[in-house]
Homo-oligomer: A and B are copies of this chain.
């Protein structure tokens, strides 16, 4: 019987099926840049797990461009996507309202909507950014550093929280932070490079540097090598995101390792529950990160 079907060459048409049953089995992953190792690691986990549940994953790169993001969201709504996993470009009430009005099951990753003043029926999966950054800061200050500089992602709650964690570390260790050693910039490798060069060429360069994500870290590290900065003697270096290269370079880089696979897994599971029952209340899951100490600090 199945054989007969197969031999007749019957192929089901999911488009018709999806129209009839008024749902699809496509979930969308909306992130800034899939080449960012953090997002590609999360994306891999999302895709693997989605596959095991028989769902497809559509990939949307927003380049942190709000208009592009909203265009994608409109298309996803039109395509009747089953759900969305998104790291939203802006974490403003405005843009969350836009997202909420789609009425699609949504899980927000990497960025927090804790402080948004409207009720959101969405799940939030983040890490303990502030505590993790504080731990990194305490570790570095404990290495007898007095003047930490920092390069943080601009526009995300994530970057802001990590900055605050570094401030916490200063307070905890009784060191006065130097406000003009901190930069908030676009999360791109060349931008990290530029910011690092600028900080190091000051008349009074810092004795430690923190980068708030893997792309900024890559750019900063490239600059440090090019400027022939002696790490960690002259400058201690630490960052977020444990990528392929951080253990390979000399000196290897101290990082906060995010549980990317776990983030993807939890995001998919929350999303599937929300697809089954869209009326679920919003939730926040805070996953633990891990400080991996290497030679750069």
Contacts and interface: CB of A to CB of B under 8 A. Distances in A.
Max chain B C-beta neighbours (<10 A), residue from A43, A243, A248: A248
A292 to B, nearest CB: 15
Interface string A67-86: 01000000101111000000
Max chain B C-beta neighbours (<10 A), residue from A24, A43, A56, A68: A56
B80 A13 contact: yes
Contacts of A41: 35
Nearest to A54: B75
A59 B75 CA distance: 17
Nearest to A41: B35
Contact of A61 (B47, B79, B222): B47
A216 B282 CA distance: 43
Interface stretch (A15-23, A92-100, A118-126): A15-23
A218 interface: yes
A249 B35 CA distance: 20
B244 A225 contact: no
B48 A43 contact: no
A197 interface: no
A interface residue count range (under 10 / 10 to 19 / 20 to 34 / 35 or more)? 35 or more
A250 interface: yes
Contacts of A245: 244-245, 248-249
Interface in A201-258: 218, 221-222, 225, 243-245, 247-250
A57 interface: yes
A189 interface: yes
Given A58-B26, A245-B249, A34 B14 contact: no
A12 interface: yes
A11 interface: yes
B250 A250 contact: yes
A40 B214 CA distance: 16
Given A16-B19, A244-B189, A248-B222, A58 B59 contact: yes
Given A43-B34, A61-B48, A218 B16 contact: no
A192 to B, nearest CB: 12
Interface of A: 11-16, 18-19, 24, 26, 29, 33-35, 37, 40-41, 43-44, 47-48, 51, 56-61, 68, 75, 77-80, 189, 218, 221-222, 225, 243-245, 247-250
Q: What 7 pairs between A and B have smallest CB-CB spacing? A: A245-B245, A14-B78, A14-B79, A59-B59, A15-B19, A250-B250, A15-B18
